[in-house]
Amino acid sequence: MISTASGLQQQHVLTQRNHHHLGAPAAVKPGFLARTRGGGAPGRGRAPNAAAAAAAVTSSPSSPPSVPGVPGNVPVVSAVEPLFRPLSLGPGLDLAHRLVLAPLTRCRAGPGDTPAPSAALYYGERAAAPGTLLISEASPISPQARGYPGTPGLWTAEQVEAWRPVVRAVKDAGSVFCAQLWHVGRASCDLYQPGGGPPVSASAIAIPPPWTLYGPGGEGPFPYPTPRPLAADEIDGIVQDFVTAAKNAVAAGFDMVEVHAANGYLLAQFLSDGSNARKGDAYSGASPASRARFLLRVVQAVADALGSAGRVGVRLSPFNEFLACVESRPLATYGHAVSELLKIRAEGDASGAALAYLHFVEPRIDATFEPRDTDLTLAPYTAMARAAGVAVITAGGWEPGPAAEAVASGDVDLVCVGREWIGSPDLPKRWALGLRGNKGDRAMYYSGGEEGYTTYACLSPEEEGAAIEAAVAARRG
């Protein structure tokens, strides 16, 4: 709908986005942006690729990396130099720097839940610094998986065809594109569900007010309905839907996929004891092991389907309470999930973790996706990933200086940026030159149409020239 949406629909969509963030009006927007802490030893990657990864790393302080996308030998400003060390996530997944485009819902999909043609320009201009990792907007794996207007899917041949030119634009720029695979579970309503029934979840526990949702045509706002608990054989079917969507992503040209198990969506609904009160089956609410089973099955099945190339990442949010999905003992539950995820080996490949990375939402990101002060930390999980040789991405409110420190410290490997990349397609170049991006117009984040999507400017030649001169002068000291 969105690219042809009426003004009224656009307004509805926008209202929705604000609304489902617990009501704080225009100052609040949904959720993805990114901020984080973390770091990451240069060259850290999957164990089997360690040699390749190490070979890819050039971190000699005497030869600072050059600015991404700028021809010639322009040095990266020293405060952010750690962000511009290369990293390999596996064969064919060579990254030139540590900034990752966060998965960002943009509500621009067209008829048949296909990505809008202009998504090629939107993603392509954000891929312009060669060796950038981009994670796609959350993409439903089936009709049942949908819960927001204008989200492009990965379950039909038509969708695969529509994704191809979008992916091609990223590949032509020399960058790496990861498709985020999504099932919203109870964060949906009859208007999205095939057959018009209730949405599905672990248990019949609704997302409570004041959370609300809008329908595919901007109808609403509605309270979230009480979901229908999935039967065990339906869970088998959804595992298969993830596999099909992963294969479709590869068929469309994506380099890798990310299983979305964060932010209160289906896999998080099974993980969390606040939303999983099942009894008497293998996915029951009784223990972290059974609550994590669905997620682990999905990741194993997707890893087996994609083979041994390490093309699977997983997104988790141990602390986030978005959509009222609350886990009372995050360390026990997510500690178990992370430890088991790290043990997954793709079929026929016993040599190392199947995961290309683990992607965490920072604990400072609250239920409205705004930063808060907190003592909570991802450290126990990132330490496990480090010990297993699996890369870590974190997301949530990162600024250049702290992001560079986090990477330099080795806590994380890659740092997501969201809002600031929406408003500045050439974000890596800006950060490398010591400049900042702009966060774009919030009113356009979910509005549909080109405005606020493909209308943001890159640095002008004059601005770039001045920044280069300043960077070179600063480097000379």
Query: Which amino acid does the sequence have at 43?
Result: G
83 interacts with ligand PHB by CB under 6 A:
no
Asked if 32 is part of the footprint of ligand PHB (rule: CB under 6 A), the reply reads: yes
Is beta strand 256-260 parallel, antiparallel or unpaired with respect to 228-229? unpaired
Q: Which of 179, 262, 299, 356 binds ligand PHB (CB under 6 A)?
A: 262
Sort strands 355-361 and 391-395 into parallel, antiparallel or unpaired: parallel
- Count of positions on this chain that bind ligand PHB (CB under 6 A): 8
Nearer to ligand PHB, 32 or 431 (CB): 32
Q: Which stretch binds ligand PHB (CB under 6 A): 30-38, 39-47, 48-56, 389-397?
A: 30-38
**39, 43, 44, 474 from 416: Cα distances, Å:** 12, 18, 17, 27
Position 47, amino acid: A
* Interacting residue with ligand PHB among 28, 31, 134, 423 (CB under 6 A): 31
Choices 26-34, 247-255, 278-286, 465-473 (CB under 6 A): range interacting with ligand PHB:
26-34
Of 165 and 220, the one with the shorter C-beta distance to ligand PHB is 220
Which one of 27-35, 61-69, 89-97, 244-252 is the stretch in contact with ligand PHB (CB under 6 A)? 27-35
| Site track for ligand PHB across 408-427, x = CB under 6 A | --------------------
Under rule CB under 6 A, residue 136 binds ligand PHB: no
Does the CA dihedral 118-25-315-435 come out positive or negative?
positive
Residue 78 φ/ψ, nearest 5 degrees: -65, -30
Question: Can you tell me which of 10, 18, 36, 105 binds ligand PHB, judged by CB under 6 A?
Answer: 105
Give min distance, CB of 30 to ligand PHB, in A: 3
Q: Which is nearer to ligand PHB, 262 or 378 (CB)?
A: 262
Among residues 144, 188, 203, 263, which is the contact residue for ligand PHB, using CB under 6 A? 263
Give dist(CA 137, CA 149) in Å, integer: 13
- Cβ at position 341, least distance to ligand PHB in Å: 18
Q: Does 30 bind ligand PHB (CB under 6 A)?
A: yes
User: Which residues are designated catalytic?
Assistant: 265
CB count in 10 Å sphere of residue 157: 9
Site residues for ligand PHB, 355-414, by CB under 6 A, read none
Site for ligand PHB in 141-160 (CB under 6 A): 148
Whole-angstrom distance, CA of residue 101 vs CA of residue 131: 12
Residues 365, 373: Cα–Cα separation, whole Å: 9
Which C-beta is closer to ligand PHB: that of 174 or that of 225?
225
Stretch that binds ligand PHB, among 28-36, 159-167, 395-403, 450-458 (CB under 6 A): 28-36
63: three-class secondary structure by DSSP = coil
The smaller minimum CB distance to ligand PHB, of residues 31 and 448, is found at 31
Q: Shortest approach of ligand PHB to residue 200 CB, angstroms? A: 17
Query: Are the C-beta atoms of 35 and 421 separated by less than 8 Å?
Result: no
| Structure token digits, residue 375 | 């003592």
Q: Which whole-number Å values give the CA distances from 17 to 14, 68, 144, 252, 273, in the listed order? A: 5, 33, 20, 29, 26
- Which helix H or strand E contains 432, and what residues bound it? helix 427-432
Nearer to ligand PHB, 148 or 155 (CB): 148
CA–CA distance, 53 with 44 (Å, rounded to integer): 7
In the bound state with ligand PHB, the residue whose beta carbon lies nearer, of 86 and 115, is 115
Backbone angles phi, psi at 462, to 5 degrees: -65, -45
- Closest separation in Å from C-beta 260 to ligand PHB: 6
Task: List the beta strands (DSSP E) in 45-173.
Answer: 87-88, 94-95, 99-101, 133-140
Minimum distance from residue 4 beta carbon to ligand PHB (Å): 20
d(CA 464, CA 426): 11
| Residues that bind ligand PHB in the complex, under the rule CB under 6 A | 30-32, 105, 138, 148, 262-263
